[in-house]
Chain A
Amino acid sequence: MPSNNATSRSRAAKGSNKPEALLALYRQMLLIRRTEERLSQLFADGEVPGFIHLSIGQEAIATGLGAVLERRDTIASTHRGHGHALAKGVELNSFFQEVMGRETGVCKGRGGSMHVADMSAGMLGANGIVGAGMPIAVGSALAHQVRKTGGVAVVFFGDGALAEGVLHESLNLSALWELPALFVCENNGWSEFSPTSKQFVAPLAKLADAFGIPAETIDGNDVEIIADTAGRLISEIRKGGGPRVLECITQRVRGHYEGDAQKYRDPAELKDRDKIDPLPRAASRLSVLGVSDALLAALETEVMAEIDAATEAARAAPLPGFAAAQADVYTPAGA
């Protein structure tokens, strides 16, 4: 298993001539990418129930953040949260088992793709409700502050969530209370079937400025920039600097959900995809740094083996039993 901690202490500084850090980031992105490609296939085959939202093309953001976060830090995620979960350290097998609806899944098969959560990893949950993660992160930041954990709460949200009232309430409260919170907007240009331009008029950085929150807008497809910036912001926050906003400009490669034919979208929009896709970009940086193609191919093999094993393990895992689930709505007495 890839360890987030391996990269969390080394800063992946752009321009560094040491390839190890970038290699770890690359491997994490690759794992997310291949995992979601596998899920896409399993979904089409009917092995993943419900509906799933893939973050293909956006892996750099989850990865960059995951690299600088510690276990004690907490994150709140979205409907498009597979990458966030894996980058924060949710174990691959129990992740697959959850998304495939197994008893051994990280949420015992009760939540599925849109609700992957792992409290032990500080992953407070993907979320089916747009915007719902923001106040949850605010509350988690409050807990870090009150309990003096030294931790930081991070919320990931899409550009579509900018229009929800809770964003404004959450920015205000976190600024008012100087909470250790980082708001990470993954601006992928789309909110379901509508472009961001038709959804929201205030640039996020300006909005943050109005609340007195320092904000940065960066290239969301460059994992090194992301890890770098996030590392800096997190350490400012951890030092008691109050909340920060980080907007990452990226692209949604797939449809809103798997099965979305994207008839509303001009295919030309994605024609330069290869140039901006975070994986090839990182790969070419790695070869500049002297990492061989053979090494990347070996990484690929390694990651695929993990995913294959996780898929098979999930297939073999037991389906959840109804009675046990029904008996688990409330905390058992004495627990």
Chain B
Amino acid sequence: MAELRYVRALNQALSDAMAADPSVVVFGEDIAAAGGPFGVTRGLLEAYGADRVRDTPISEATIVGAAVGAAMTGLKPVVEIMFMDFVAIAMDAIVNQAAKARFMFGGQGSVPMVVRLPHGGGVSAGPQHSQCLEAWFAHIPGLKVVCPASVADAYGLMRAAIDDPDPVILVENKALYARKEDVPDDLPAVEIGKARIARPGRDATIVTYGAALYTALEAADTLAGEGVEVEVIDLRSLQPWDEAAVLESLSRTHRLVVAHEAVEAFGVGAEIAARMADIGFDELDGPIVRVGAPFMPVPFAKTLEQGYLPDAGRIADAVRKTLA
């Protein structure tokens, strides 16, 4: 057991993967000499050399496009887009190239690459540095999308993403980088597509992922004080997502809330709610309620961003609504 930070767990996973497999390479803006704007890649240049750990110019389209080509040619690139918002510039490489190459070329090969995308607001970073855009990627056949919330999962999902033969979007949350947890010394990889029960309960289920997990747990604490025992499921993977685990929990609690920081409309929660309204219909003893950000850009001023971000109060209210 040792105390580890989320950012260090990601770093450790990268390092272990690079040690285990010489085809793993890392590149992105200021990730080598400077160790990354958030420190995720610190020390990799020194440990694995300038061949495998490279700073790039500010060229997102080419960073990801080059990752696709490198992955087609025997490397396993892990690339960083500094803020998830900037990935808009690289969408072609992800959506039209990486996601489709395997299928379109008749399964001749896969594209084993990882695109790391830090998302999330809460620090007045404004409309172009705060977004949670994961639903874009979960909508694209051919991509996998993971979003670790715990320190152990930061390690485990990074390892799994690198090992995966297909392109994986690894969504990190900026607010979680500093998070500390006691974790076993020998962290395992975490299977992509498997959710985790972060808190067991019997009265209602909250499905969530990323930093919203902690908001959901806070809401669960509040509700426990009212005698309501909420089960909180940390989805961990968004594509594929653990339908069976959610259905299983719903079959016990019969009430479902889906909470995330991303905009509610057309978001990940919409997919989960729709699937459960279908395959879980007869289990429902109340409406499925979603909690997400309102349909507006992330605003800058503190008063605005406070109103924007889903908080524990809103999640608790959603649970109460399912129980009404």
Contact = CB atoms under 8 A, between A and B. Distances in A.
Contacts of B62: 165
A319 interface: yes
B297 interface: yes
Contacts of B306: 322
Contacts of B60: 164
Contact of A49 (B57, B88, B300, B307): B300
B124 A101 contact: yes
Interface of B: 29-30, 33-34, 37, 55, 57-62, 85-86, 88-89, 123-129, 294-297, 299-304, 306-308
Contact of B308 (A50, A111, A130, A322): A322
A321 B60 CA distance: 36
A274 interface: no
A115 B126 CA distance: 8
Interface in A283-335: 319-322, 325-326, 329
Contacts of B295: 329
A320 B287 CA distance: 34
Task: Rank and list the top 4 A-B pairs by shortest CB-CB distance, nearest first.
Answer: A163-B57, A322-B307, A128-B128, A101-B301
Contact of B124 (A50, A319, A329): A50
B294 A326 contact: yes
Interface of A: 49-51, 101-102, 109-112, 114-115, 127-131, 160-165, 191-194, 198-200, 264, 319-322, 325-326, 329
23 contacts: A49-B301, A50-B124, A101-B124, A101-B301, A101-B304, A110-B297, A111-B126, A112-B124, A112-B126, A115-B300, A163-B58, A163-B59, A164-B58, A164-B60, A191-B57, A192-B37, A194-B29, A194-B34, A319-B301, A319-B303, A320-B299, A320-B303, A321-B303
A33 B243 CA distance: 57
B59 A128 contact: no
B127 A193 contact: no
Contacts of A198: 55
Given A101-B300, A101-B302, A165-B59, A192 B29 contact: yes
A163 B29 CA distance: 11
